[in-house]
């Protein structure tokens, strides 16, 4: 089994794992729900993830002067306004779940097993946990019963597809940043890069699916079978399915728009052209 040794993917996997009378739920209620479910914390990770990707790309040989690169990094924070992104996700969620349906989801995240699982997901998202997960991977992958359970969660959450989508968006953010900086007038070339990224990420589907399963196994290894059964039962409810679908869609849409803003703003930065030839796609894929 070949694992993807990249902490960016770990965070993306865990985001996919935790994403998850018609009186609309109030903004305060939806904001509280996003906070309890861990969605808020994960969305707030996006600027750092993209900057980490840009740093990795620069270290592979992209010859951009430090002052220019620092200006690009600063633009990430301005372009990816996570508070605005979360507000938009909340606006999508509010009209979709009524108050009673929202209470069903809230009651899970406020329950003892709900808190245990959310805490386990948060613990698993640290760099130290990533290293430990890789070290324990062989042992974790021997538990066929838990693997079957993890696969069932993947199907319920659509975690593998969502991680693929997020990985695509993250890659495109990095490529858009460097392409806009080095060749701000070559939109055609950027579109070619985008097509290549989507093809490359799709080729990772099997690896990402295995990584998602491993992330489930590691995250929930200390959670008892009864609590995990209750978690799956919750995920099977119409309320949970709606919550996960709307939040995942909202995250994807807001991130795509933020990336477009990022590319536009970086293109407006006065760039000192590198002495070496222009950047190629193999130099900016991470």
pLDDT tens per residue across span 179-230? 666 665 555 566 777 777 777 777 888 888 998 999 999 999 999 999 999 9
Q: Which parts of the chain fold into alpha helices (H)?
A: 7-18, 27-37, 39-43, 46-59, 66-79, 82-93, 99-109, 112-123, 127-140, 144-157, 159-182, 187-202, 205-219, 225-235, 238-267, 281-284
The number of CA neighbours under 13 Å toward the Cβ of 232 is 17
Number of domains in the chain: 1
* Structural domain for 265, as ranges: 7-18+27-284
**Contact of 137 with 3, CB cutoff 8 Å:** yes
| Domain assignment present for 76 | yes
| Domain assignment present for 1 | no
| Domain assignment present for 2 | no
Beta bridge partners of 98: 24
| Domain assignment present for 110 | yes
Beta bridge partners of 24: 98
Summarised one tens digit per residue, pLDDT across range 62-121 is 667 888 888 888 888 888 889 999 999 988 888 888 888 888 999 999 999 999 998 898
Alpha carbon distance 265, 147 (integer Å): 44
Three-state secondary-structure class, residue 242: helix
- This prediction's pTM: 0.75
| Domain assignment present for 204 | yes
| Domain assignment present for 169 | yes
Structure letter (DSSP) for residue 278:
P
């Amino acid at each position: 089994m070949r694992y993807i040794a990249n902490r960016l993917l770990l965070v993306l996997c865990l985001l996919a794992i935790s994403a998850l009378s018609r009186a609309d739920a109030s903004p305060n209620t939806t904001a509280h729900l996003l906070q309890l479910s861990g969605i808020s914390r994960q969305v707030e990770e996006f600027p750092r993830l993209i900057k980490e990707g840009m740093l990795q790309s620069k270290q592979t040989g992209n010859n951009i002067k430090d002052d220019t690169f620092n200006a690009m990094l600063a633009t990430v924070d301005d372009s990816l306004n996570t508070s605005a992104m979360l507000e938009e996700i909340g606006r999508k969620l509010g009209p979709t779940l009524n108050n009673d349906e929202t209470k069903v989801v809230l009651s899970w995240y406020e329950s003892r097993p709900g808190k245990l699982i959310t805490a386990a997901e948060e613990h698993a998202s640290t760099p130290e946990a990533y290293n430990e997960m890789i070290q324990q991977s062989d042992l974790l992958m021997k538990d066929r019963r838990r693997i079957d359970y993890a696969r069932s969660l993947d199907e319920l959450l659509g975690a593998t597809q969502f991680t693929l989508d997020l990985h695509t968006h993250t890659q495109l953010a990095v490529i858009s940043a460097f392409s806009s900086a080095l060749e701000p007038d070559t939109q055609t070339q950027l579109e070619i890069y985008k097509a290549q990224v989507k093809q490359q990420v799709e080729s990772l589907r099997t690896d990402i699916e295995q990584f998602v399963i491993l992330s489930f196994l590691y995250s929930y290894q200390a959670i008892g079978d009864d609590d995990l059964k209750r978690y799956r039962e919750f995920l099977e409810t119409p309320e949970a399915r709606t919550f996960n679908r709307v939040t995942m869609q909202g995250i994807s849409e807001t991130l795509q728009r933020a990336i477009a803003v990022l590319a536009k703003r970086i293109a407006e930065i006065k760039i000192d052209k590198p002495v070496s030839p222009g950047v190629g796609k193999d130099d900016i894929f991470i």
